[in-house]
Structures are given as structure tokens and as C-alpha cells.
């Protein structure tokens, strides 16, 4: 493309939506049998978006349904339809004349710091609060055997993933620059909206911590209340066996300290 158009290569290669909807189509148009490659390229984009939407929607829907099973589980199909319609309506502004600016604002702030920090907190909670050994034991209960690379899982949950995410987040903050689209620089109020979008998914974490502490913490002292919230519920860690087959019975292994033993069975 740079050779045919005479434009310097640094001006041809772009990032973001322009790369997908401008640069790639222009490059595909230079290829033999361009209509075929264009169809395959955009069909691939459609499948990627569809697969992502399935995962994100199912995660949100299952979380809400599990929180209110009495009311939503009998009507999960209708609730799923309502969620999809709501997401469709929320996405309409992105398809309007100024939609690319709204899209770039959301893409700049929502897919950056909040996503990494939420992932890091999840790994820290699983690895150090709930316990990597306990989660591995639960995994063995569900699938009937201990994964052969359980040590790698444990190292990733406790050390590798949190450290890598923290480094990426730190470097991203160091290189932060206000949102722009091409030569257009967003006004200050738009940047404030972007930061509100960023923290909208982070604020619920400390808010729920405070809520759980005051309404569900057990004990007389502050340390006892916090300690009670860091343990699994009484109906979760039973130590009961699960029947895998007629002649294969898997028991959850618990050591002398009451903690699950991650050794293979």
C-alpha cells in the first residue's frame, strides 16, 4: 500500500478502528480475488465478536441469576433476552454520526486499567485468601483427578499473573496520555467521563468489602469479623466424597490442619 500510494509507511499503518475498517480493507483490495478475502476477513471479525459477546453476556447473566435464583432462574431465557435488548440499545449511539468518538472514549478507558486491576485482584483473592490449594482440591472434586500441571497453576495464581499484571498496569500509567482520535483532542469533561467509566468497575470492590464487613462479618473484634469473611462458607468445605463411577470413589484429601492437600490421587 505504501509503494502504490506513495505514502510513507508510518502514515499507512494505523491502530484502533482505522486499522480494521480502513487499512486492512485497503490492503485486501490489492490482493488477488479481493472479494473472497474481504468476505473471509469480515466473517472472521463477525465470529470473533460473536464469540466474545457469548462469553461476556453469559458471565453477566449467570452472575445475576445465581444471585437471585428464586426469581430469575425460572425465567432465565426472558432475562437473557432483556439483557441482550438492553445492550443493543446501549450500543446504538456508537453507530450514529459521532459514534466513533464515543467508541474511542470507551475503548481508551474501559479496556485498560480497570480490566487489569480486576484480574489482578481475582488472582490475589484466589491465590492468597481463598487459597490456591483449596481451589485445586475443589478442581479435583469436580473433574475427579488433580491436573498434572497443578504446580504451574498455583505459581501463576499466586505470583506470575499478579506480578505481570502489576508491571503492565504500572507501565501503562507511566505512559498515559489523554484520549485522542486522529488530530482531535477530547475536551476535559470527556476525559472525566472516561475516568468515571474506568472506576465504575473498580469502586464496587471496596464498596462490597465494607458492606460485607458490616452486615455479614462475625465476631466481636474487627480482626475476627475480617477473618470470618476470608473463610469459605460453612456449607462449602464439608470434606464429603463424590462418586465418580461404580468402582471409583474420590474423597477430598484434607491434611491435619484442615486444609486441602493438592497431592494427586
Report pLDDT digits (tens) over 217-231.
888 888 888 888 887
- Residue 109: pLDDT over 50: yes
- Residue 184: pLDDT over 50: yes
Rg (CA), the chain: 25
The confidence score (pLDDT) of residue 135 equals 87
The confidence score (pLDDT) of residue 134 equals 85
The confidence score (pLDDT) of residue 264 equals 41
Q: What secondary structure letter does DSSP report for 181?
A: E
What are 187-212's pLDDT values in tens digits?
Answer: 999 999 999 999 998 899 899 999 99
Burial of residue 108 (CB within 10 Å: 0-12, 13-18, 19+) is: buried
What are 144-176's pLDDT values in tens digits?
Answer: 888 888 889 999 999 999 999 999 999 988 988
- Residue 115: pLDDT over 90: no
- Residue 80: pLDDT over 60: yes
Measured distance CA(254)–CA(261) in Å, rounded:
5
Q: Output the CA torsion sign for 62, 66, 68, 74.
A: positive
Q: Which one is predicted more confidently, 164 or 22?
A: 164
Measured distance CA(240)–CA(257) in Å, rounded:
17
- Residue 83: pLDDT over 90: yes
CA 177 vs CA 83, 89, 174: distances in Å: 34, 30, 9
Residue 94 and residue 87 in contact, taking contact as beta carbons nearer than 8 Å: no
Amino acid at each position: 500500500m505504501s509503494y502504490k500510494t506513495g505514502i510513507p509507511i508510518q502514515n499507512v499503518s494505523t491502530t484502533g478502528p482505522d486499522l480494521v475498517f480502513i487499512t486492512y480493507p485497503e490492503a485486501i483490495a490489492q490482493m488477488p480475488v479481493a472479494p473472497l478475502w474481504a468476505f473471509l476477513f469480515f466473517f472472521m471479525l463477525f465470529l470473533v465478536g460473536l464469540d466474545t459477546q457469548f462469553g461476556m453476556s453469559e458471565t453477566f447473566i449467570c452472575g445475576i441469576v445465581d444471585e437471585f435464583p428464586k426469581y430469575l432462574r425460572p425465567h432465565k431465557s426472558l432475562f437473557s433476552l432483556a439483557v441482550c435488548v438492553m445492550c443493543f440499545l446501549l450500543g446504538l449511539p456508537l453507530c450514529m454520526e459521532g459514534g466513533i468518538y464515543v467508541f474511542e472514549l470507551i475503548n481508551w478507558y474501559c479496556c485498560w486499567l480497570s480490566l487489569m486491576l480486576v484480574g489482578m485482584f481475582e488472582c490475589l483473592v484466589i491465590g492468597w485468601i481463598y487459597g490456591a490449594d483449596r481451589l485445586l482440591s475443589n478442581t479435583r472434586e469436580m473433574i475427579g483427578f488433580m491436573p498434572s500441571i497443578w504446580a504451574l497453576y498455583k505459581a501463576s495464581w499466586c505470583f506470575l499473573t499478579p506480578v505481570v499484571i502489576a508491571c503492565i498496569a504500572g507501565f501503562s500509567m507511566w505512559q498515559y496520555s489523554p484520549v485522542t482520535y486522529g488530530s482531535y483532542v477530547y475536551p476535559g469533561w470527556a476525559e472525566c467521563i472516561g475516568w468515571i467509566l474506568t472506576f465504575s468497575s473498580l469502586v464496587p470492590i471496596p464498596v462490597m468489602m465494607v458492606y460485607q464487613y458490616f452486615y455479614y462479618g462475625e465476631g466481636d473484634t474487627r480482626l475476627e469479623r475480617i477473618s470470618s469473611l476470608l473463610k469459605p462458607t460453612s456449607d462449602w468445605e464439608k470434606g464429603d466424597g463424590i462418586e465418580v463411577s461404580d468402582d471409583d470413589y474420590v474423597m477430598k484429601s484434607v491434611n491435619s490442619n484442615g486444609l486441602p492437600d493438592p497431592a494427586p490421587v
